[in-house]
């Protein structure tokens, strides 16, 4: 169990990135949802001991990560949003190098480890290829391989599927799901589907604060019977946004289709639709941002 209490961070420019964040994150896949600038990456870097918070605590199974950073770094794996590689080095050589840096100095043990990791992330057949020739999804799978060195009890992945094509995204998410069976895996993303597909527990963060945490299905159930859909004219859109709680707007065949939150149909033409995690997400964001900022999200 990862326990985060009263975590705060304000940067030198005055931006308060985290505001008294409290979270309990159990073993398994945990989704951290939020828009760009919500504070997700700040939280991930702080948990990974790459930056100091202004206050608060982070404890993993009794280990104070902020007080003992050396021990903390032995227990966690981290795949940041921007993961650079040496383009002219092969996947096998680079992973071998990372293993040395993580303290796997015995040659035989390291060889077995590198082989096992490359097979686990389905890169064994391309182990001799230079990393610069890898696709985005292959680079992300290599990133997970390096994060798994040392059998970490906590793995942090920050926006891992951004920019991946559907096939690579599915391959990567399947890999995360396998890893998440016996360790704490934090999936930080703004892609709602990633959390819907993978995570039995999640939190939504916006403007540096946790707005909701718990099970996605429970959050969705709370909106059952309260989400309504209608296709409207573009000229009518602003009026609906003023008069109703518009969760989201999406153009379908050039016409705005809106989801509205309400205990009854707002007016003629609205039909009920099953709630989903996207409705929950946009509903929470709407509480913290102007409608125009999220309506087309």
Q: What are the domain boundaries of the chain?
A: 2-214, 222-294
Q: How many CB atoms lie within 10 A of CB 146?
A: 22
* Strands 227-231 and 184-189, bridge-based pairing: unpaired
Asked if 148 and 140 touch (Cβ cutoff 8 Å), the reply is: no
Percent of the chain with pLDDT over 70: 97
pLDDT at 230: 94
Record the pTM: 0.85
- Quick one: pLDDT band at residue 118, thresholds 50, 70, 90? very high
293 pLDDT higher than 50: no
Residue 296 has pLDDT above 50, yes or no: no
Distance between CA 263 and CA 267 in Å, rounded? 12
- Give the residue-averaged pLDDT of 156-181: 83
Q: Look at 168-182, 191-205, 210-224 and tell me which has the smallest mean pLDDT.
A: 168-182
pLDDT tens digits, 260-290:
999 999 888 899 999 999 999 998 988 765 4
The CATH number of domain 2-214 is 3.40.50.720: no
Give the pLDDT score at 290. 47
């Amino acid at each position: 169990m990862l326990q985060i209490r009263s975590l705060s961070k304000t940067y030198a420019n005055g931006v308060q990135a985290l505001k008294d964040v409290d979270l309990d994150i159990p073993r398994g896949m945990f989704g951290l949802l939020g828009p760009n600038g919500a504070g997700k990456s700040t939280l991930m870097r702080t948990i990974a001991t790459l930056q100091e918070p202004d206050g608060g605590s982070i404890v993993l199974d009794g280990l104070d990560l902020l007080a003992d950073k050396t021990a903390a770094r032995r227990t966690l794996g981290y795949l940041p949003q921007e993961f650079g590689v040496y383009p002219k080095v092969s996947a096998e050589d680079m992973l071998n190098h990372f293993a040395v840096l993580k303290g796997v100095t015995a040659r035989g043990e390291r060889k077995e480890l590198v082989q096992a990791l490359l097979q686990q992330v389905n890169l064994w057949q391309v182990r001799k290829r230079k990393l610069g020739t890898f696709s985005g999804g292959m680079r992300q799978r290599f990133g997970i391989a390096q994060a798994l060195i040392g059998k970490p009890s906590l793995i942090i992945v920050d926006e891992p599927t951004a920019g991946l094509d559907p096939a690579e995204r599915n391959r990567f998410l399947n890999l995360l799901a396998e890893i998440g069976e016996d360790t704490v895996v934090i999936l930080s993303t703004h892609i709602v589907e990633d959390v819907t597909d993978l995570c039995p527990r999640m939190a939504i963060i916006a403007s540096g604060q946790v707005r909701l945490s718990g099970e996605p299905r429970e959050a969705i159930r709370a909106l059952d019977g309260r989400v309504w859909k209608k296709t409207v004219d573009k000229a009518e859109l602003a009026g609906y946004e003023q008069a109703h709680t518009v969760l989201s707007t999406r153009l379908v065949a050039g016409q705005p289709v809106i989801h509205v939150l309400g205990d009854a149909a707002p007016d003629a033409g609205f039909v009920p639709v099953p709630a989903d995690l996207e409705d929950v997400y946009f509903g929470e964001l709407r509480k913290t941002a102007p409608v125009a900022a999220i309506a087309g999200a």
